Structure 1
Amino acid sequence: MTLQHRIDLLVRLGEYLQRSGHEWQHIKEQANRKNPWFAPEFIEMATNNIVNSFLQKDKLERWVKEYNVPAENNAPLVVGIVMAGNIPLVGFHDLLCIFITGHISKIKLSSKDEVLLQHIVSSLKEWESETADLISIADNLKGCDAYIATGSNNSGRYFDYYFGKYPHIIRRNRTSVAVLDGTETSEELEKLADDIQTFFGLGCRNVTKLFVPLGYDFSALLKALNKYEHYENFHKYKHNYDYQLALLMMGNKFYMTNGTILLSKNESLFTAVSQVNYEFYNDKKELASLKENKDVQCIVGHNSIPFGQAQQPSLFDYPDGVDTMKFAVSL
């Protein structure tokens, strides 16, 4: 399958997802039933970003041109991909990188995100039989030439042990932060609420830590976060909120809340679902090291990723800052 053939097939996939016919609607409903954290609105959001940011012909052609991807891959290697399942279709970009460069993808799906990706792979094979030679789903990834594995810090140690002697990309826990200066408009704060609460805060691009100037007034932000007050009707989220609230109360710790999310002063970048940590700063220069922090996926704020765009990655936005396309082309 030539490069242009693969691009055309991916464009067809984008058109299929965008059309959202009966079959794809059924698959999305099935994915939500299997994993309630995959709310319909978030499956839709993930799908739309893939369609608009990844699967447009002009964007794909510009992307492959940037990496000088050859028209034909005459020596394809087998790349094992261990996918995460924290948010819908989170592993699609890895599959896209390997497929478009003409290598062979052997995928281990997360049990949390099987339905959507299985259907996408099946559809590609149905439209073009040669795809079966390039993409397969497997429970065991032994015998691959290279690996891309995404998981927790704990699973990362196992990935290092099993895959370390092969060409590899191994990703661990990451999260995102926002730097506020107090001049944010109500519209920007509403967009920040999206960066915090979309996907219930489960993505590595979700903001879990705020850096705010001394004396910062949180009232406008808490008001903006009311946009997601309907989360109190989602029992899994509400259970997390009640549990974290109880811990803060029993620990006699100061917190702020609008009834659906907790703001707590804490140095940790990571936090639980339904809670956001914050920390005061005197001078933004104190935060320069954030750019080098290996736990930070994105920095949101003025002069950084614009508010509301943390969960809208482009083809060139690579997880953990590791260029997956460069890795694939160099194999």
Structure 2
Amino acid sequence: MTLETKKSVFVELGKFLSQFSEGASARKSDVLYNDIFFDDFENLIHLSQSHNGWYTPEQVYFSIQSWAEALTEENINKWLSVYTIDENNDNSKTVALILAGNIPLVGFHDFLSVLITGYKALIKTSSNDQHLLPFLAKYLIAVDENFKDKITFVDGKLENFDAVIATGSNNTARYFEYYFKDKPSIIRKNRNSTAVLTGIETTQELENLGEDIFRYFGLGCRNVSKLYVPKDYSFDAFFQAMFKYQDVIHYEKYANNYDYNKAVFLMSNFKLLDNGFLTIKEDSSYASPISSVFYEYYENLEELKERLKNDSEQIQCIVSSNLTPNSIAFGETQKPQLWDYADNVDTITFLLTTK
């Protein structure tokens, strides 16, 4: 398969995904193989919550739409324009992918990167997300059957591969690093995202920040779990803006986490601020439990920038009004571009330089 062929197949996948949105899914006449895949995918979306209680239709539709927006000819060309990829590269090497399952299709970028560079993908999905990616793989194969020999899903032990990309917790990362010590690898650990506030944010900016906090119920590494605020910061405007997301408490799994984590904090005599569906607690850690956000005061922005730089291996995204280098605008953390790499590790460069 030529590079241009592979690009075109993923553009077709983007067109297919673009048909699906909450309450407004609609067939488009120019999309390939809708007669085979449209109804089944719509059904799968609505079944996803039975496979994983966190995968509500709203969250799955959001993920699908994000990928539909990413997989355009313009975006794919822009993404790959900075690399030298052999136009006819049909590499016989196999890359093992060990995928996370915290949010829907979280491993899709690795899957895309391996296939677009001509490698074979040997995929071990998370037990929390076993259905969405295999379905999309079937669609790719329908569009171009040459992908059939490029995609393999495995349930058991991974064998016969040349490199590995694995995503997990800090604990599983230690296992991965030992087990795959003789293979070229990208091993991803826990990361969290943070926001730097000044106290002069607009209501719209704070409401957008709520999207960064609550999207996917806060389960993603790109979700904001920690706030940095100036001394004497008033959380009144913050809580008023968060009110927009109050319906999150109606999801049983989220509500159970809220009740449990709040109880643990109170039993430990921690000082909390609480609005009935979100607790915020002063804490130096980056990783806060579901339904809570940690905060920390800062006095000097330059000193804070230096600290964030030193802690970069713990941080996925920083949200602010351009207060830090490479900061992300409020509300945009869960809309990464194809060229926004997890942990700032360039997956395409890794693949192209793997021997």
- TM-score band (shorter)? over 0.9
Alpha-carbon distance, 1:291 to partner: 2.8
Residues 1:113 and 2:129 aligned together: yes
Correspondence list, 1:165-176, <5 A: 165-176=182-193
Alpha-carbon distance, 1:203 to partner: 0.1
Give the distance between the partners of 1:216 and 1:247, measured in 2 at CA. 25
Quote the residue 2:271 is aligned against.
254
Quote the residue 1:200 is aligned against.
217
Quote the residue 1:157 is aligned against.
174
Give the distance between the partners of 1:75 and 1:301, measured in 2 at CA. 41
Correspondence list, 1:1-331, <5 A: 1-20=1-20, 21-53=38-70, 55-139=71-155, 140-288=157-305, 289-293=307-311, 294-303=313-322, 304-331=327-354
Residues 17, 24 of structure 1: 8 Å contact kept: no
Give the distance between the partners of 2:223 and 2:195, measured in 1 at CA. 10
Between the two proteins, the alignment pairs up a number of residues equal to 330
Write the letter of the residue equivalent to 1:252.
Answer: N
Query: Which is worse superposed, 185-194 or 237-246?
Result: 237-246
Give the distance between the partners of 1:10 and 1:144, measured in 2 at CA. 24
SS of corresponding position for 2:228: strand
Give the distance between the partners of 1:286 and 1:305, measured in 2 at CA. 20
SS of corresponding position for 2:18: helix
SS of corresponding position for 1:106: strand
Q: TM-score, normalization: structure 1?
A: 0.97
SS of corresponding position for 1:112: coil
How large is the Cα RMSD of the aligned pairs? 1.1
Write the letter of the residue equivalent to 2:2.
Answer: T
Structure 1 72/292 Cα, relative in aligned 2: closer, same or farther at 3 Å?
farther
Give the distance between the partners of 1:93 and 1:75, measured in 2 at CA. 19
Residues 96, 164 of structure 2: 8 Å contact kept: yes
List runs of 5+ in structure 1 lacking aligned partners: none
Write the letter of the residue equivalent to 1:72.
Answer: N
SS of corresponding position for 2:280: strand
Alpha-carbon distance, 1:47 to partner: 0.9
Give the distance between the partners of 2:342 and 2:298, measured in 1 at CA. 27
Q: Which runs of 4+ in 1 moved over 4 A?
A: none
Q: Deviations over 1:221-264 (max 9, x none)?
A: 11111122112211111111111111122122211111000000
Give the distance between the partners of 1:56 and 1:74, measured in 2 at CA. 22
Query: Which is worse superposed, 125-134 or 101-110?
Result: 125-134
Alpha-carbon distance, 1:127 to partner: 2.3
Q: TM-score, normalization: structure 2?
A: 0.91
Q: Deviations over 1:160-184 (max 9, x none)?
A: 1111211100000000000001110
Residues 90, 119 of structure 2: 8 Å contact kept: no
Give the distance between the partners of 2:161 and 2:182, measured in 1 at CA. 11
Quote the residue 2:33 is aligned against.
none
Q: Deviations over 1:257-304 (max 9, x none)?
A: 110000001111111100100000111112122134211000001112
Residues 91, 120 of structure 2: 8 Å contact kept: no
